[in-house]
Structure 1
Amino acid sequence: MVRGGFLPCLAPEPPNGGERAAAGAATLPPPEVRRAGVALASPGASGATAARAPLTEGQKQIWALATLDEEGGRAYNQSVAIHLRGPLSHEALAASLQKVVARHEALRATFSPDGDYQEIAPAVEIPVPVLDLTRQRDSEREAEAARLLGELGREAFDCAHGPLLRARLLRLASDHHVFALTMHHIVSDGWSMGIILRELEEFYAAERSGRPVSLRPPDSFVEYALSEAARRSGPEAEEAERYWLGQFAPPLPPTLGLPTDRPRSAVQTYVGAQQHMALDDELYLALKRLSASLGCTLFMTLLAGFKVLLHHLTGEQDIVVGTPSAGQLAAESFNLVGYCVNLLPLRSRIMGQMTFAEYLGSLKRILSGAYDHQSYPYGVLLKRLNLPRVPGRSPLVEAIFNLDHGLPPQKFFDLEMELRPIHNG
Structure 2
Amino acid sequence: MDRPALPAPDLVSTAQAREPAQAPEPALAPEPAQAPRPALAPEPAPAREPAPAPEPAQAPRPAPTRELAPAPATGNEPPPGRPTDIERRVRALWAAEFGLDPDGLAADASFFDLGGHSITAMRLVNQVREKFGTEYPMLSFYQEPTLRAMTAHLTEAVGATTPDAAPAPGDDLPGTVERRAPATLQQARFATVHAGHRRPQVFNVALRLTLTGTLDVPALRTALTRLVERHEGLRTRLTPAGDGWEQQVLRPGPVDLPLEDLTARPADERRAALDRVSAEVTETPVDPTRGTPMALRLLRTADDTWVLLLVLHHSACDGWSVSLLLRELAALYGSARQGVPDTLPDVECQPAAYAHWQQEQADEADEDRKVRFWLRALDGVPFTVGLPLDRPRPDSPSGRGGAVPFTVPADVRAAVERLARQRGTTPFVVTAAALGRLLARTSGQDDVVFNISYANRERRAFESLLACTITGFALPVRDGAAGSFTALTDRVARTAVECMDHALPVRRIAPALRDHTGVEVPDRLDVGFAYQSSLDAEVELPGLTTAVEDLAPAAARTELTFGLVPAGDELRGFVEYSSDLWDRATIEGWTHAYVDLLREETGRALDD
Give the TM-score, by structure 2 length: 0.62
| Structure 2 residue 336 is the aligned partner of structure 1 residue 229 | no
Larger displacement relative to structure 2 (108-117 or 141-150):
108-117
Matched, 1:397 2:525: yes
Q: Which amino acid aligns with 2:376?
A: G
Which residue number corresponds to residue 564 of structure 2? none
Q: Are the aligned partners of 1:27 and 1:227 in contact in 2 as well (CA < 8 Å)? A: no
Q: SS state of the match for residue 350, structure 1?
A: coil
Given that 1:81 and 1:179 are in contact with CA atoms closer than 8 Å, whether structure 2 keeps it comes out as yes
1: CA distance, partners of 2:369 / 2:184: 20
Name 2:189's counterpart in structure 1.
61
2:377 matched to which residue of 1?
247
Contact 1:389 1:395 in 2 (8 A): no
Whether 2:229 is the aligned partner of 1:102: answer yes
Does structure 1 retain, via aligned residues, the 8 Å contact 2:450–2:529? yes
Q: 1:131 aligns with which of 249, 260, 263?
A: 260
SS in 2 for 1:274: strand
Residues 1:6 and 1:408: Cα distance change in structure 2 (over 3 Å): closer
CA apart distance, 1:24: 3.0
Distance in 2, matches of 1:240 and 1:8, equals: 36
CA distance in 1, matches of 2:2, 2:213: 39
- Cα deviation 1:275-309 (Å, max 9, x = unaligned): 11223222222222222223222111111111111
* Pair 370,394 (structure 1): closer, same or farther in 2 beyond 3 Å: same
Cα gap change, 1:40 to 1:181, in 2 (>3 Å)? farther
For the residue of structure 1 that corresponds to 2:497, the secondary structure is helix
Task: After TM superposition, give the deviation of residue 158 of structure 1 in Å.
Answer: 3.4
The answer on 1:88 being equivalent to 2:231 is no
Stretch of structure 1 that moved more, 338-347 or 239-248: 239-248
Cα offset for 1:66? 0.4
How far has the Cα of 1:345 moved from its partner? 1.5
Task: Give the aligned length.
Answer: 414
Corresponding letter in the other structure for 1:223:
A
Using the aligned pairs only, state the percent identity.
Answer: 24
Distance in 1 of aligned mates of 2:351 and 2:381: 35
Alpha-carbon distance in 1 for matches of 2:453, 2:323: 16
Q: Which amino acid in 2 is paired with 1:95?
A: T
Structure 2 gaps, min length 5: 14-18, 25-46, 57-121, 134-170, 555-608
CA shift, 1:5, in A, is 9.1
| Structure 1 CA distance for aligned equivalents of residues 221 and 4 of structure 2 | 35
In 2, are the aligned partners of 1:28 and 1:224 still within 8 Å (CA)?
A: no
Provide the residue aligned with 1:341 in structure 2: 470
Q: Unmatched 5+ residue regions in structure 1?
A: none
> How far is the alpha carbon of 1:119 from its aligned partner?
1.3
Alpha-carbon deviation of 1:106? 1.1
* Aligned pairs for 1:24-35 within 5 A: 24-26=51-53, 30-35=122-127
Deviations 1:68-120 (A, max 9, x none): 25x34221111111111100011111110111111111111111146421211
Deviation string 1:317-363 (CA, Å, 9 cap, x unpaired) is 22112122112246751110111111122112116853111111010
CA distance in 1, matches of 2:125, 2:367: 18
Q: Among residues 18, 34, 50, which one is paired with 1:23 in the alignment?
A: 50
> 2 CA distance for matches of 1:122 and 1:243?
44
Pairwise CA distance, 1:242:
3.4
Are the aligned partners of 1:166 and 1:183 in contact in 2 as well (CA < 8 Å)? yes
Residue 383 of structure 2 contacts residue 522 of structure 2 at CA under 8 Å; is this kept in 1?
no
Is the 1:24–1:372 contact (alpha carbons within 8 Å) kept by the matching residues of 2? no
For residues 103 and 152 of structure 1, do their structure 2 counterparts lie closer, same or farther at Cα, with a shift above 3 Å needed?
same
Question: In the alignment, is the contact (CA less than 8 A) between 2:506 and 2:524 conserved in 1?
Answer: no
TM-score (norm 1): 0.86
- Between Structure 1 and Structure 2, whose CA radius of gyration is higher? 2
- The letter of the residue matching 2:22 is P
User: d(CA) in 2 for partners of 1:315 and 1:304?
Assistant: 16
Separation of aligned partners in 2, 1:226 and 1:306: 37
Question: How far apart in 1 are the matches of 2:280 and 2:457?
Answer: 31
Do the aligned partners of 2:232 and 2:350 also contact (CA within 8 Å) in 1?
yes
Tell me how large the CA RMSD over aligned residues is.
3.4
Query: Given the alignment of the two structures, is residue 191 of structure 1 paired with residue 332 of structure 2, yes or no?
Result: no
